[in-house]
A and B are shown apart, each in its own frame.
Chain A
Amino acid sequence: NAGVMQNPRHLVRRRGQEARLRCSPMKGHSHVYWYRQLPEEGLKFMVYLQKENIIDESGMPKERFSAEFPKEGPSILRIQQVVRGDSAAYFCASSRSVGQELGYEQYFGPGTRLTVT
């Protein structure tokens, strides 16, 4: 059973370009979470999605950032007009459910390291 897949693993963009980060959850998981991590810091929640729905985007910057999880295909985190401050590692996680009976265990992907030059 493959784990959470993310691609690309490394992405270099010039200021002003767009970055598209992909995440394929574990098989059977319909909940996807995106986190951002700066060097030597913890993970910061960005957005939580279920299939075709954004459930909680309270951690997402209001401008330039968007996320989707279509019915078919991976979840996409899109950053438009990137700036140097967007350079970070972006992690995706998936879970089967948020119900207490199944716990909240999230399985993380290997991350995408975005560098904005």
Chain B
Amino acid sequence: GESVGLHLPTLSVQEGDNSIINCAYSNSASDYFIWYKQESGKGPQFIIDIRSNMDKRQGQRVTVLLNKTVKHLSLQIAATQPGDSAVYFCAETYTGGFKTIFGAGTRLFVKA
């Protein structure tokens, strides 16, 4: 069944610290993973993606790590800022598939 879950439902970090948000997925056939950020009252916003032929991808202040052996995905945010406060979702899909499965989300609080 659908099962993309997160280990921590909430995460509170101090401004300037690094944040790590984790995600477990269950479908071994999934080969494309995305992290989304959702602010209150808004739609999800694409942050970064990674394909299954990679284990790490970096963006601006964000890094996604993929461990296919244990079906684990993580999002690292460097120097977390108050504007990073939001709910973060991981999502998975697979080549030729149309359905994107979203995890339950992690709420990130950034303390000033």
B and A form one assembly? yes
Q: Which chain A residues have a beta carbon within 8 Å of chain B's beta carbons? A: 4, 33, 35, 40-45, 48, 55-56, 58-59, 91, 93, 98, 100, 103-111
Closest-CB distance, A5 to chain B (whole angstroms): 11
Those 5 A-B pairs whose CB atoms lie nearest each other, nearest first: A108-B43, A42-B102, A48-B98, A43-B102, A56-B98
Question: Could you tell me the dominant secondary structure of chain B's interface residues?
Answer: loop
Q: Evaluate contact between B93 and A104: CB separation under 8 angstroms.
A: yes
Residues of the A chain whose Cβ atoms lie less than 8 Å from the Cβ of B104 = 41-42
A56 and B45 within 8 A (CB): no
Residues of A within 8 A of B4 (CB): 42
B55 to chain A minimum Cβ distance, whole angstroms, is 18
How many residues of B sit at the interface, in one of the four size bands? 20 to 34
- Tell me the B residues contacting A by CB distance below 8 Å: 4, 32, 34, 36, 41-46, 49, 89, 93, 95-105
Q: Is the CB of B105 within 8 A of A41?
A: yes
Residue of A nearest to B99 (CB): A45
15 new A-B contacts, CB < 8 A, other than A42-B105, A98-B96, are A33-B98, A41-B104, A42-B102, A42-B104, A45-B100, A45-B101, A59-B99, A93-B43, A98-B97, A103-B32, A104-B34, A106-B100, A110-B41, A110-B42, A111-B43
